[in-house]
A and B are shown apart, each in its own frame.
Chain A
Amino acid sequence: MSRRWYGPLPQATDLAVLLPSASRIAQTAAAERIAGAFRLRLRPAHGVALLALFILGCGLAQAQVQPGQPSILATLWKWTPVLLRGFVFNLVISAVAMAAGTIVGLFLGFAQISLLLPVRKGAWLTTHFFRNAPWLVLLFYCMFLLPFQVTIFGVTIPIPDWIKATLGLSLPVMANVSEIVRGAIQSIPTAQWESAASLAFNRRQTLWMIIFPQCIKRMLPPWMNLYAILTMATVLTSIVGVNEMMSLTRQALSAENRSGLLLAFYSYVLFWFFLYCYPIARWTVRLEARYAVNH
């Protein structure tokens, strides 16, 4: 099976002084390859920096307020319900894409360890194609290659843009989940397989009752990390015209038609994403640490 990218890392440097950081970087890289993406490492300091940026943006905007115009905070407050509606849309897209991608990705992951060569190779190819393709390109594929409506038995069902966009985002999720599953299964010691085989379990029983339950702990942190990354990537759908938070922010800015609001508004958007992703990122780190001790 395709283990070749997962072997131990070569020594990155022979300069003793660099070794501590080199091994740290190597460890991070190894973990990120398993997770299939960069690991979100949000810290409270990042929130403080964002807040500072937001305050700076507000200050700049306030300085440019013309007589008779409402203050920047009043403007933001006015638009907040609209923006939050967009944000909820982002979250819906992320949840649906994650659910769909996870379900298909689980199957694909199991297919990657199939004993049938064509199944294994096909799953491997699919996984690596969608895992290494740029997310935006996949998004455009789905937006422009899928029909805007389908007719089944004379009934015409429209496919709204956001569904197509969600589908587009679920493809890389699927591929990454597939890789997470494969990596987790292969990280279980072969002794467990041997032990199950000697107790006369067949392959499917071994996978379902013995191997996979042990994988869940290992899969959870990279899976949650993937979700946080997906949530941030949902703003990509604004490019293809989905009315989520980014699109609405742009519309709000053009409706206001005032100079100087840009920094304040976009920092505000960032801050909402931070509020949502920060707990997920912290929780992921906690789980990772806990499970690392157990194994």
Chain B
Amino acid sequence: MTAAPAASAEPIVDLRDVHKSFGHVEVLKGVSLAVPKGGVVCIIGPSGSGKSTLLRCINGLVPIDRGSIRVASFDVHRLKTDAEKIALRKEVSIVFQQYNLFPHKTALENVMMAPVHVLKEDKDEVRVRAVALLGKVGLSAKADVYPGELSGGQQQRVAIARSLAMRPEVMLFDEVTAALDPETVKEVLNTIRELAQEGMTCMLVTHEMRFARELADVVYFTDGGVIVEAGPPAELFDHPVKERTRAFLSQIL
């Protein structure tokens, strides 16, 4: 692993007192967290604790009600126009639980689309990079295959390559292994591990506790829309302070 990021560094993702309600349901009740550049953060917690919403807030897919979110040079909570949100999303990429590849495009085209049409980069250069990215996620042989013919794990790795093609500063992973069968989970996790080791800033919502323990600099345990407890994985997993954390961990470990 690369050297642990300096704790004093300016955080690249900075959330302060973030609130979000859907109708009468308050999903986020004041969440604050910071991720330094190159840091790897895992967010764990029971279903419905607002983990996915949190990630969607960070790249502006879900507008927040109160608080502030700063990512790189963007004040996400102040972004109004589509153009501003688009500028943000060039820096922050999200990978979804259900992969959401474009079914009418091949794996390679999926990876190439955004750089060519959004970043307006040269198509031939993008192709070279896209082929390299597919190689990196171990899918060189599947470049011309449509998503419908790929396994879940393969689709998810294409989705990761597609996000990486945008050269984002921050990668968000929203339970990316939750829809996969156990055998393919490993191949996706390996891809993410490599990324993290190369110094990519990663935020993962995950149920893979062993993975979180191995990779994360900091693990956040969320429940009921708040961060119950946070700390380095060794501390949080082995010596949880809060009763709620202990109860959760005892159920899943």
Asked if B89 and A197 make an inter-chain contact with CB atoms under 8 angstroms apart, the answer reads yes
Task: Out of A194, A198, A210, name the residue touching B102 (CB < 8 Å).
Answer: A210
Contact B118 A194 (CB under 8 A): no
Known: A194-B100, A205-B118. A199 touches B82 (CB 8 A): no
Question: Is A200 interfacial (CB-CB < 8 Å)?
Answer: yes
Q: Which residue of B lies closest to A200 (CB)?
A: B89
In the assembled complex, A75 has its CB within 8 A of some CB on chain B: no
Interface string of A189-204 (1 = CB under 8 A from B): 0011011111111110
A193 → chain B closest CB, angstroms: 9
B93-121 interface code vs A (CB 8 A; 1 in, 0 out): 11010101111100000000110011000
Question: Cα distance A203–B81 when bound, in Å?
Answer: 12
Cβ contact within 8 Å between B113 and A198: no
Query: For A213, what are the chain B residues with a Cβ–Cβ distance below 8 Å?
Result: 104
Q: Point out the residues of chain B lying under 8 angstroms from A205, CB to CB.
A: 117-118
Say whether B178 faces chain A, with CB atoms less than 8 Å apart. Answer: no
User: With A191-B96, A191-B100, A194-B61 known to touch, is A200 a contact of B90 (CB < 8 Å)?
Assistant: yes
B-chain residues with CB within 8 Å of residue A202 when the two chains form the complex: 82-83, 86
A192, A195, A202, A210 pick with most chain B CB within 10 angstroms: A195
Number of A-B contacts (CB under 8 A): 55
User: Which label, helix, strand, loop or mixed, suits the secondary structure of the A interface?
Assistant: helix
The interface residues of chain A lying within 8 Å CB-to-CB of B103 are 214
Residues on the B chain within 8 Å of A192, using CB:
100, 102
The answer to whether B98 and A191 touch across the interface, beta carbons within 8 angstroms, is: yes
Q: Is the CB of B96 within 8 A of A194?
A: yes
On whether the beta carbons of A201 and B96 are closer than 8 Å, the reply is no
**For residue A199, which residues in chain B have a CB less than 8 angstroms away from its CB?**
89, 93, 113-114, 118, 162-163, 166
Most chain A CB neighbours (cut-off 10 Å) among B90, B100, B163: B100
Asked if A200 and B118 make an inter-chain contact with CB atoms under 8 angstroms apart, the answer reads: yes
The answer to whether the Cβ of B48 comes within 8 Å of any Cβ in the partner chain is no
Q: Answer yes or no: B148 CB below 8 A from chain A CBs.
A: yes
Chain B residue at minimal CB-CB distance from A213: B104
Residue B59 CB within 8 A of the other chain: yes
Q: Give A202 Cβ to nearest chain B Cβ, in Å.
A: 6
Is B90's CB under 8 angstroms from A209's CB? no
List the B side residues contacting A210 at CB < 8 Å. Answer: 102
Q: How far is the CA of A197 from the CA of B61 in the complex (A)?
A: 8
Chain A's closest residue to B94 (CB) is A198
Q: How far is the CA of A144 from the CA of B114 in the complex (A)?
A: 52
Q: 19 other contacts beyond A192-B102, A201-B86, A209-B113, with CB at 8 A cut-off?
A: A192-B100, A194-B100, A195-B96, A195-B102, A198-B59, A198-B61, A198-B89, A199-B89, A199-B113, A199-B118, A199-B166, A200-B166, A201-B117, A202-B83, A203-B82, A205-B118, A209-B117, A210-B102, A214-B102
